[in-house]
Homo-oligomer: A and B are copies of this chain.
Amino acid sequence: MNALGVVSRRLCAGVAGRVSGWSAHSLRPFAGITVSQIDEEVAKLLELKAQLGGDEGKHQFTLKTAKGTRDYNPKQMAIREKVFNTIIGCFKRHGAETIDTPVFELKETLTGKYGEDSKLIYDLKDQGGELLSLRYDLTVPFARYLAMNKISNIKRYHIAKVYRRDNPAMTRGRYREFYQCDFDIAGQYDPMIPDAECLKIVHEILSELELGDFRIKVNDRRILDGMFAVCGVPDDKFRTICSTVDKLDKMSWEDVRSEMVKEKGLSEEAADQIGQYVSMQGGKDLAERLLQDAKMSQSKQACAGLTDMKLLFSYLELFQVTDKVVFDLSLARGLDYYTGVIYEAILTQNGPAPEAGEKGEEGVSVGSVAGGGRYDGLVGMFDPKGRKVPCVGVSIGIERVFSILEQKAEASAEKVRTTETQVMVASAQKNLLEERLKLTAELWNAGIKAEVMYKKNPKLLSQLQHCEDSGIPLVAILGEQELKDGVVKLRDVHSREEADVLRAELVEEIKKRIADV
């Protein structure tokens, strides 16, 4: 037994103490130890470990990406770029700026923001210095950014990857590393106008991406809370009952009811009253009806939510998007920070096949592709003075969109180009590498997208084959004769037509041909 063993035994007592209800008292035997001492010891042990040469016995190397993550190959990147252009185009059309934040935050920044989901946060190893975690979404870093920079209004988008130690379902586009495309409006404004713009944006993006028919469900946290109150749910059970209601898109009402009653101890009567409400769907009319509802109208909160819902629908009518929007009392959404309107967009067809255990009947949701809502309290949690900045936003769940579009591209005959090369500089004869390089540089300098083979004497056929394979439309062919005549043979890959073009006019001719395509 060496010195390390001594520490080991002493510490074991403390650790065991913690498991069975550890408290500050257990610290007494370590009263002389400070955190910085521990830091020092840890640093020394790690150094020793590095000297010993890393993990023992793990000598087989695994060639893979981390669980739940994937590479994007050039074809997937081409699709991703197209999708991002559509989405960014929409965000810019609505006058949004963009920001970026680091991929990791201080651990404490994320603490207490995600309720039960906090266990899915990736932490970084303590290598000395600050404790860090990978961001779980873009909303909390946005709120931190607003508080830190004392910004009280902004309309911004942010497209970046977020990290969740979730159970991956990669065929359905659920990863541990995935993109979020967020659009948020922060500021004190008149009710429901920014909220309506967020829904308009979801409508525009899902229409433009041509993913098939979709529906946008809308509800309000205040309506949910009011409903729970008038149905007799005890105050301290609101959140947990809410998270059970949130499962209605994946579970039947019977199962949800049973979870409420058996697991969460709700009375059968309360559960059945909730059951009546959460089956309701409609539009402005439903909001009006519920405002008259004998029970609902008893809750001030519900009435405030319902009045705003009416107003929201009147703006959505002006935006001409009510065809896809449904006021749905079963929509709950899990995250803790929502305070007002919430929404979620689902594709009603064309999605990937549902997994076992999820609803799969015809016409029923096969997947959420966007979601969001109002979170008026989050910035205040970061502000030293508790200053509030009301916010509303939407997040596009882009990975599922990628999955769908990748499957479409696979199924379609059309080839996805992964480069934008306009012309290949080729030669039919030997010993023309220098001439090819010179011409290629001329084209690059004129802004033409050009490629040349990195071979001294490539075969003409292999040069043409590369054009066919990668969709390059033109070939500029050099030969002894062309060089003598001061021309280049310009070949159209598709029609196979060839024409001699004066070297001095080549750039103009290529630009003209490209514009014609």
Contacts and interface: CB of A to CB of B under 8 A. Distances in A.
A3 B2 contact: no
Given A48-B33, A124-B123, A131 B54 contact: yes
A39 interface: yes
Contacts of A70: 102
A63 B150 CA distance: 11
Interface centre among A49, A161, A314 (most CB of B within 10 A): A49
A361 to B, nearest CB: 34
B122 A124 contact: yes
A185 B4 CA distance: 50
A49 B39 contact: yes
Nearest to A444: B93
A40 to B, nearest CB: 7
A127 interface: yes
A98 interface: yes
A123 B127 contact: yes
A494 interface: no
Interface in A39-74: 39-42, 44-56, 58, 61-67, 69-74
A71 B101 CA distance: 4
A321 to B, nearest CB: 9
A51 to B, nearest CB: 6
A420 to B, nearest CB: 5
A465 interface: no
Query: How many copies of the shown chain assemble into the complex?
Result: 2
A197 B443 CA distance: 13
Interface in A150-169: 154, 156, 161, 163, 165
A445 B319 CA distance: 10
A77 B98 contact: yes
Contacts of A145: 71
Contacts of A261: none
Nearest to A111: B54
A131 B61 CA distance: 13
Interface stretch (A245-253, A446-454, A477-485): A446-454
Interface centre among A26, A63, A156, A449 (most CB of B within 10 A): A63
B102 A77 contact: no
Nearest to A62: B106
A174 interface: no
A511 interface: no
Contact of A126 (B71, B125, B154, B421): B125
A441 interface: yes
Contact of A434 (B2, B12, B48, B318): B318
A97 interface: yes
A464 interface: no
Interface in A419-470: 419-421, 433-434, 437-438, 441, 444-445, 447-451, 454-456
B65 A102 contact: yes
Interface stretch (A188-196, A267-275, A329-337, A347-355): A188-196
Given A63-B148, A71-B99, 20 more contacts: A2-B30, A3-B6, A3-B7, A4-B33, A7-B44, A18-B47, A27-B51, A34-B56, A42-B42, A64-B148, A66-B102, A66-B105, A81-B98, A92-B420, A95-B421, A97-B419, A124-B124, A190-B456, A204-B444, A318-B441
30 contacts: A4-B37, A8-B44, A11-B44, A11-B48, A15-B44, A27-B51, A33-B48, A34-B52, A35-B49, A35-B55, A38-B48, A49-B126, A50-B119, A61-B108, A63-B148, A65-B148, A74-B99, A80-B100, A92-B420, A92-B449, A94-B451, A95-B419, A95-B450, A103-B177, A123-B124, A123-B125, A125-B126, A194-B454, A204-B444, A318-B437
Instruction: Give the top 3 A-B pairs by smallest Cβ distance, nearest first.
Output: A189-B454, A74-B97, A69-B102
